[in-house]
Structure formats: C-alpha cells, structure tokens
Structure 1
C-alpha cells in the first residue's frame, strides 16, 4: 500500500515517520483489528515525529520498553515495584509536591480496601503492586514532565467470556477528571476491544459520588446496583455497575472519546485514513487476483 504521512518529514530523518508507523502497527500485535492498528500507528507517528526531540524520546521508549502504550498526554507502562513504588507512594501519601498543596490521602484511598500507606515497603507489599493472576496494572506517565501521575488497573479478566473490569485510576486529586486520566482509560479500552473483548465493566462504591462521574466521562452505561456487594474497611459496600460493550465502542463511544482527546478534526482524519486504507487494500487484492488469473490463462494457452 501507498502510505500517506501524518505530517512533514523531519530534517535529517527521512524515514522516521515510516519507521514510527511501522513499529506501532506491528507492535499492536496480530490479534488486534486492522482498524485499531492503523489508528494507533497513525497517532503514534504523529506524536513521535512532532520534533526531533519527541522522535528521539519516543524511539528511546520503544527500544527500552516496546510494550508501552503511547498517547498524546500520557504513556502507559507496566507497573513495576522497582520503577514505580516510590513514586506512587510519594504521589498518594497526601504530602505537598512542588506547587501542589498537602491533602488528605483518604481522598484517594477512602473507598478502596487498602491504603493509605505509611512507607514505600508497605505500598510495595500491598495489592497496589501484588497483583492477582487475572489483573494487570500500568503506571500513568505524564508526557511533558515524564513524571508518574497515577496507576490504572484491569481486573476480573475472563478470557473465556471476553469480559474484563476497568478499575478507577489511582491518581492524585489534582489530576482527577483531567485529560490525562481519560486518555489512560481510552488507551486501554481501545486495545481491549481491538483484542476482541466484548464487555468492559466498571464497579464503583455507590457512596463515592466523585468517582461515579468517571464512567459517564468515558461513555459507560449504568447497568444496576449490587447491594452489600463487598466489605470494605469493615463496612458494607453497595457497588454501582457500569458497562461498555464492543458494539457501543464501535457505534460511537470510541469516536466520542477520540474527538474529546484529539479534536473533531483529528477524529475525522482518523476515519478518513481508515477508509482510504481499506480502499487501497481492496484495490491491491483485486489487482493480485487479476494477475493470478492472467498468469493461469497464459499458462493454459501454452
């Protein structure tokens, strides 16, 4: 296929955009949809090749951690005790950091079954880092400062039924509701549905009024209320359940979030690029069939 670049070629790096697109496309895996691979690779290329500095930075990330997910405002990298425990502890213990004021750590941990923590070791030994087999966790890295601003979790993975739970990101109160928090969830949702998951669930304490705003920001549908669903810190928890289906994602939820993160113009360009690539692939396929048919006819005529 003839690939159309997402921007201008960087001086001295004539192949950088092609390389960025190719590594993101291939890195998305063979088990994801072609539409997803095109979209993620196109976005990755645009982010990586803005300037020489971003190209060097994103290439370095790929060379050291090829599994990281790269977004416009954040990157997601697999959560590790050695790399992230100290930073997550510092971010969530309520102490002032730079220009950010001191706060009550229960703003983060109050509705969770663990935390606040008194030390790096304590948080390292907790469920924040000690994951079950059906869980995955990612550190949320700010793209501008390269600092850890939170962590986001997947739990209750059910490959047989193609369902999984997206847990609320653990994030400093000042980052709650920001584009970084939304993009962290978007990157995971997009990859999950591209892998064939049919349903993603969110489960939130019914008393956590602030956190219940998040599913709506992401386009989830409230499905019901589970009474006395859990015991959290020796208290009953009623859980509000929200769901996102693959059909919801394909019919508008993805486009809504993409436009929210990157703008309507970028969302329209993303759709147009996918349609164009579809047309090129169909044309290439028909041309190949024609050549094969002509070769067979030529062989028969001999």
Structure 2
C-alpha cells in the first residue's frame, strides 16, 4: 500500500533489498510439448520456412513488423537479424514430437534495473497456433523471467490484432491501456495495447497454467478436458 513520507506525500510501496533482475540467457527451456532453443540459422531456418509456408496466404503477418520469408535464405536473414540484436533473447519453438522448429519468439525490452521484460516477436506457424505448444511456449518464458527476478512481464500488440490480445488475456495478462499512434508499421498507423503480468500475480497464474498443461488434462486425442480459465476459478 502507498504510504506517507515526511512531507505528507503519498509514495509507492518500498521494494526491500532490490538489486535489479538477473541476466536472461540464450539457453534451452524445456517443456513437455515443446522446447525453446536459442535461435540458430543452420538448425532452424529450413524448418521454419517450411512451417510458415504451410499457410495459404499472408494473413498471419498482417500486424507483424516483418513479412513471411519467401525462401530458406530469406528465413536465414530474418533469423540472423534477431540473433545479432543484443537487445533480444531469441528462441525457436521446437515441437518435441517432431523435433522441428514451428515458431519464433523473443524476450525483449529487457530492463534489469527496473525488473521489466517483454515477450515479443511472436511468430507462430499454423503448426502451433491454438495448440498446447503456443501456451506452453509462453509459460516457459514467463517462468524463466520470474525465476530471474523480473517484477513485470509485458505483452504488446496492435489494437486491431484481437487474436493476440485475446491469447494474452487467456494466459492471464491484464490489459493496462492503449498507446495511440505508438508507431508506423508497414506504412500504416499502429495503436498499441499494453498488457502485463506482475510478480505478485505469477504464483496463482503459474499454478493454473501448470494444471492446464498437465498431461492428465488431455484425452487420448490431445483434446483438453478443462479450459485454462477454469483453473483460475
């Protein structure tokens, strides 16, 4: 709770012994249905090109800053740009059942001094959208961020990308507000919605996500028995 200082002014809660958050590493994050591997063009470009090529059109790229790569070579260039960016911790999402890369995601906007980080560059192929993999991949990143002492994990999306906002809210992100004319994206205005999960919320959300992700929550055909929302009730 806010408290009064010696001048009678309200000030924020103290954060005892705060020394900043830890370093986020480019390392393997292992889950049950997927794993996140540090991005590597040699290992991941061909798989990712093939996974993204399964889509019939470009609709999945409408609100992204990039466009769908047209070749393995173009995929390599796209991935290398993320690998070379010191401000990103980039991962390829690997389907453990096939061993092939099916998506891309990064930790970004990393502010260790204040303990904030964003999950971004989210590029899911048709092979992982609306699947256990897409939820588990985000859970692995959330788990890593909070384990490293971050106080806040952010999710930002184009206000017109309702699927992205709905996916974040399903996981447990809270909508905080709308930044008007936040950027120009592909020659068009983008207003951005901001959402977050903070450390005090994480234990309950983590328990709900682990409950939903448990093998016992899925039938022999891989269909969920209970919706994620029910684990938070």
Q: Offset at 1:116?
A: 1.9
* Distance in 2 separating the partners of 1:264 and 1:77: 26
SS at the partner of 1:213? helix
Q: Offset at 1:173?
A: 2.8
Higher relative contact order (CA 8 A, sep 6+): 2
* Distance in 2 separating the partners of 1:116 and 1:69: 26
* Distance in 1 separating the partners of 2:69 and 2:211: 38
Instruction: Output the aligned Cα RMSD.
Output: 2.1
Equivalences for residues 1-302 of structure 1 within 5 A: 67-93=27-53, 95=54, 102-104=55-57, 106-126=58-78, 128-131=79-82, 132-167=85-120, 169-250=122-203, 252-262=204-214
* Distance in 2 separating the partners of 1:147 and 1:165: 25
Q: Offset at 1:71?
A: 0.9
Task: Answer yes or no: is the 8 Å Cα contact 1:169–1:181 preserved in 2.
Answer: no
Distance 1:264 1:241, change over 3 A: farther
Larger radius of gyration: 1
* Distance in 1 separating the partners of 2:167 and 2:136: 12
* Distance in 2 separating the partners of 1:175 and 1:67: 21
SS at the partner of 2:80? coil
Q: Offset at 1:174?
A: 4.7
Task: Answer yes or no: is the 8 Å Cα contact 1:168–1:211 preserved in 2.
Answer: no
* Distance in 1 separating the partners of 2:128 and 2:215: 21
Q: How many residues align?
A: 192
Per-residue deviation, residues 262-284 of structure 1 (Å, max 9, x unmatched)? 1689xxxxxxxxxxxxxxxxxxx
* Distance in 2 separating the partners of 1:169 and 1:177: 13
Structure 2 stretches of 5 or more lacking a match? 1-21, 218-233
More strand by share: 2
Per-residue deviation, residues 74-101 of structure 1 (Å, max 9, x unmatched)? 11110111111121112113x4xxxxxx
So what's the TM-score if we normalise by structure 1? 0.60
* Distance in 2 separating the partners of 1:87 and 1:225: 36
Per-residue deviation, residues 29-56 of structure 1 (Å, max 9, x unmatched)? xx79xxxxxxxxxxxxxxxxxxxxxxxx
